[in-house]
Amino acid sequence: MTAHDPSLARPNTPVTTYRYDEFDAAFVRERVAEFREQVRRRLEGSLTEEEFRPFRLMNGLYLQLHAYMLRVAIPYGTLTARQMRRLADIADKYDRGYGHFTTRQNLQYNWPKLIDTPDILEALAEVEMHAIQTSGNCIRNVTADHFSGVAPDEIEDPRATAEFLRQWSSAHPEFSFLPRKFKIAVTGAEHDRAAIMVHDVGLRIVKNAAGEVGYQVVIGGGLGRTPFVGKVLRDYVPRADLLAYLEAVMRVYNRFGRRDNKYKARIKILVHEKGIEEVRAAVEAEFAAMDRSAFSYDPAEFERIAGFFTPPPYEALPAESAKLRAERVTHPAFGNFAEVNAAPHRVPGYAIVTVSLKPIGGIPGDATSQQMRVLAEASERFGFGELRISHEQNVILPHVKQDDLFDLWKLLDGAGLATANAGLVSDIISCPGLDYCALATARSIPIAQAISKRFSDLSRQRRIGKLGIKISGCINACGHHHVGAIGILGLEKKGQESYQITLGGDPTFSASIGEILGPGVTAEQVPDVIEHIVDFYLAERQEGETFIETWRRIGHARFKDVLRREGEDGADI
């Protein structure tokens, strides 16, 4: 950053995100230079494709079905307007004018050229961004609650911890060649929006009896072909021990995680096969044997980082905006948006706005460069220049004055960004599926689009209420179908796409893996099946009950039964 930086002159300049110092900036620049050299050596032949692979993955570059794909990190989901504009510029210059926001707070470009990627990484580095460790068998981009710092139920903003971990995990000498990828998520709130129970390591910020902040450490969660809910490794790790404790976890995993079969190489399998007690004993023994002073936690460093995540200069406002109340009545479409997409904020008079990237019939998580620019503008005009990416593949404006909601809505509406479906049945999480992904066995995007169109009536969606549908195009479960209240898994059976439905998944602290409803159905049948399930839920639910609550109360068998009966009636399910 220099004094001539135009972003400094803008109103609403972000004040609540981490700013690179000279060392961070030099570190990222070195990585770009290193990758440029690796690309050169690959093209010249001193690296084979097999040798090049882990290094390009560590820089976010995949070889996909049709082309390379570049996965850009959005650490802990926080993004500034300036960075969002840069993402838009890159989409225009090096891709096809759009980007795809993913379930791990990344942005993917689907059409970059290998030869251009060092330049893209350089363009990212200029705005304090990178693609470091967004892939590969290393510690991936650390994710966090997208309502960090603004959620009313928060103990502490988890982003300071996430940034602390981002630095510690970057280019780690010991843990860059792990048995498999390793994903860490952090939450600091009472409600889990970071899905920590289904990560390799989930960290929950807690307070001990003395009121000191520390971490509950959960390990061994994960989806994929063998889904597991994580187990508590330790109820409380003091902040001073966090890095040392994680080093112990990583060392145990690096040494004892299976490497004979990539599908059994995640830490969840180690925990499953050895048992949490044995893993805990190994971690605690390693932790006890370490010289913790050697790389000890530095409280001043943590405080330095935490100092960036301070609240923006909010105005003193009444808890409820009279202007908003009036506008909700005079503009019903806006009223619905405010009801569905605005969440309570910890500061009176403000709201947290979810901008849905799930227009009816659209591709979940996709944004055009023009939409990215509108989002950047929206954040500057109405939200201190700060944005978040949620693991639900939406964009969050974390600090919007209730008084400004109507003007914000008008701006978003003009860009096709005002779909009032946050958390509703058409707010579908979906992986890219067979349309882009080399691993996929079935399409995901057209399924999401068909369901979205089937439930296009937003008033009906509101009547149905909060209901998460998640779609994966293969058993690797990038669409998190296992933890969808309704999960859909696309498979290939005898040359046909077949979709397996699961019910009852939950990614929060009360995590559960969905149960299979019955035999797979065809792509054409999926919207019918979902509609039957939803109708059955509406008929059975008690006042105020969510889908998952009804499902838990009346049991999976009843849902299965009703579908079986529907099938006999000729619905052919």
Which residues here bind other proteins, judged by CB under 8 A?
21, 23-24, 26-27, 30, 33-34, 37-38, 41, 45-47, 51, 54-55, 137, 167-168, 170-178, 251, 254-255, 259, 289-291, 294-296, 298, 300-301, 304
Residue corresponding to tokens 């003193």: 316
Please identify, using beta-carbon distances, which residue of 299 and 519 lies nearer to other proteins: 299
**Least distance from other proteins to the Cβ atom of residue 53, Å:** 9
Please identify, using beta-carbon distances, which residue of 31 and 532 lies nearer to other proteins: 31
Which string of b and e fits 219-244 if b means at least 16 CB within 10 Å? Answer: bbbbbbebbbbbbebbeebebbbbbb
Please identify, using beta-carbon distances, which residue of 25 and 206 lies nearer to other proteins: 25
- Smallest CA-to-CA distance from 365 within 412, 413, 431 is with 431
Distance CA 224, CA 228 (A): 9
**Least distance from other proteins to the Cβ atom of residue 274, Å:** 16
Please identify, using beta-carbon distances, which residue of 171 and 213 lies nearer to other proteins: 171
Distance CA 409, CA 398 (A): 15
Other beta carbons less than 10 A from residue 549's beta carbon: 14
Q: Phi/psi of residue 429, each to 5°? A: -85, 130
Please identify, using beta-carbon distances, which residue of 115 and 295 lies nearer to other proteins: 295
**Least distance from other proteins to the Cβ atom of residue 164, Å:** 10
Please identify, using beta-carbon distances, which residue of 154 and 247 lies nearer to other proteins: 247
What's at 164, amino acid-wise?
F
Please identify, using beta-carbon distances, which residue of 55 and 68 lies nearer to other proteins: 55
**Least distance from other proteins to the Cβ atom of residue 284, Å:** 16
Please identify, using beta-carbon distances, which residue of 48 and 330 lies nearer to other proteins: 48
Other beta carbons less than 10 A from residue 268's beta carbon: 26
Distance CA 288, CA 244 (A): 10
Distance CA 193, CA 520 (A): 30
Residue spans of beta strands (DSSP E) within 222-341: 231-238
Please identify, using beta-carbon distances, which residue of 76 and 455 lies nearer to other proteins: 76
**Least distance from other proteins to the Cβ atom of residue 31, Å:** 9
Spatial neighbors of 22 by CB under 8 A, at least 6 apart, are none
**Least distance from other proteins to the Cβ atom of residue 242, Å:** 14
Please identify, using beta-carbon distances, which residue of 136 and 385 lies nearer to other proteins: 136
**Least distance from other proteins to the Cβ atom of residue 555, Å:** 46
**Least distance from other proteins to the Cβ atom of residue 35, Å:** 10
User: DSSP of 320-386, one letter per residue?
Assistant: S-HHHHHHHHH-HHHHHHHHHHEEE-SSTTEEEEEE-S--TTS-TTEEEHHHHHHHHHHHHHHSTTE
**Least distance from other proteins to the Cβ atom of residue 258, Å:** 11
**Least distance from other proteins to the Cβ atom of residue 54, Å:** 6
Tokens representing 382? 């109405």
Beta-sheet strand order (sheet of 515-516): 429-430, 469-472, 486-493, 496-503, 515-516
Please identify, using beta-carbon distances, which residue of 30 and 339 lies nearer to other proteins: 30
Residue corresponding to tokens 């030099």: 26
- Smallest CA-to-CA distance from 54 within 45, 46, 63 is with 63
Widest CA span of the chain, in angstroms? 72
Distance CA 454, CA 464 (A): 13
| H/E segment holding residue 108 | strand 106-109
**Least distance from other proteins to the Cβ atom of residue 41, Å:** 7
Measured N-to-C along each axis, helices 405-413 and 322-330 cross at an angle, to the nearest 10 degrees, of 40
Please identify, using beta-carbon distances, which residue of 175 and 382 lies nearer to other proteins: 175
Please identify, using beta-carbon distances, which residue of 168 and 236 lies nearer to other proteins: 168
223 within 8 A of 214, measured Cβ to Cβ: no
Please identify, using beta-carbon distances, which residue of 258 and 493 lies nearer to other proteins: 258
3-class secondary structure, 451: helix
**Least distance from other proteins to the Cβ atom of residue 483, Å:** 30
Residue corresponding to tokens 């479960």: 477
Residue corresponding to tokens 């909700």: 328
The DSSP output letter for 252 is H
**Least distance from other proteins to the Cβ atom of residue 361, Å:** 42
**Least distance from other proteins to the Cβ atom of residue 172, Å:** 6
Measured N-to-C along each axis, helices 405-413 and 332-341 cross at an angle, to the nearest 10 degrees, of 100
Spatial neighbors of 225 by CB under 8 A, at least 6 apart, are 263, 475, 476, 477
**Least distance from other proteins to the Cβ atom of residue 180, Å:** 11
Please identify, using beta-carbon distances, which residue of 54 and 152 lies nearer to other proteins: 54
